[in-house]
Structure 1
């Protein structure tokens, strides 16, 4: 598998993560983005340093930024923590009457044993607030394409928030979505952040490549 680089300079590397590839994994037999970038850098005669700033779930495709040195990683990490990254997703959900626009606010917790998230009450001591906004871009039969702006970055946030409103993502069997034989229909299609050195605004977008997105982007 060849690394697809969208942008690169001395401090950052922006790339496309295919669905099915982990951002980072401890499994030696399984390829991940960190290993691919490390090999890519070494092949160019560079340091093998790879700073992980944010992650995408393994079944999700989309845009990721990595730092190429510790100083850049520290700055980007602070940006992310201060919610200065703008992250946009496309998702196909199977609910015919989902409202045209909406803001979803919940409290969620991660169940590490089951590797899934749950919506809980605010009184839960482990609860973390999750917030996103969305609009319906297009409807086809019982499927709707949503354009989602993620305000917080909780574990499986988009997946569990939509599923809790009887609008599971197509292919997301873990949260009640219909099985399609393809990866779940969720794509991080746009990422905006500030360059850690030049302080220039960075903006990267891709078109979803999952087969199920084809009807919406024909």
Structure 2
């Protein structure tokens, strides 16, 4: 199911039931509040629930996972206190399959590969550095990628994460010479007009925490000519 709250919030709901709500995040939206003071996506979703179901008082909403601000795509929230710890456990045990799409300028060394690095986060510049071996204060990072399509000037990669580290996809792809389009922080040469990076949380597959059913959600791609060229996969 997919619906929109209003043009102002432009909230695209991809799936919803009594326990869960999945939305398609826009570039620039923050999932949770931060020092910027900008209204987070979690509050927009609360407003949507309150407005749609005429709920009095505070609306319960649990944040299960996050996406970087310039990234687009699937974000899952829990609508009940019963669902949240079960979803947290599911994600912690890596039983949720997250698939991302990324547009990169350079062809990767292989058409498909597994990347293993040790990432160390620098909180001062909010950036991670990739190492090829275990290094002090680093965490092991594993992802799998394959080339889905070669465009005129870019390559579309599909990525599945085995771990969830800070800026993992951005950092690991940059480390093999494939920075994501628009990602100045990790070496791309220019920004995207809307300050996004061309990284999209495309699909999420998991077992429903209450109904025990398999849920598979796919997020439509951003409205951009380059992404539209990727639709025919």
Quickly say closer, same or farther: Cα 1:123–1:129, change in 2 above 3 A: closer
Instruction: Name 1:3's counterpart in structure 2.
Output: 11
Residues of 2 paired with 1:8 and 1:97: CA distance? 37
Is residue 153 from structure 1 mapped to residue 164 from structure 2 by the alignment?
yes
- Indicate conservation of the 8 Å contact 1:185/1:210, yes or no: no
Report Cα offsets for 1:114-138 as digits up to 9, x if no partner: 0111113544232111111111111
Give the match's secondary structure for 2:144.
strand
Match of 2:85 among 65, 74, 79: 74
Match of 1:192 among 202, 205, 209: 205
Instruction: Name 1:214's counterpart in structure 2.
Output: 228
Instruction: Name 2:216's counterpart in structure 1.
Output: 203
Instruction: Name 1:45's counterpart in structure 2.
Output: 54
- Indicate conservation of the 8 Å contact 1:90/1:189, yes or no: yes
Report Cα offsets for 1:168-196 as digits up to 9, x if no partner: 00110110113132411100010011111
Residues of 2 paired with 1:33 and 1:198: CA distance? 26
1:58-97 to structure 2, matched below 5 A, reads: 58-96=69-107
Report Cα offsets for 1:187-211 as digits up to 9, x if no partner: 0010011111011110000231152
Match of 1:35 among 23, 39, 43: 43
Structure 2 stretches lacking a partner, 5+ long: 1-8
TM-score by length of 1: 0.93
Q: CA RMSD in A?
A: 1.7
Quickly say closer, same or farther: Cα 1:64–1:151, change in 2 above 3 A: same
Where do 4+ consecutive residues of structure 1 move more than 4 Å?
none
1:129-148 to structure 2, matched below 5 A, reads: 129-148=140-159
Instruction: Name 2:3's counterpart in structure 1.
Output: none
Give the match's secondary structure for 1:70.
coil
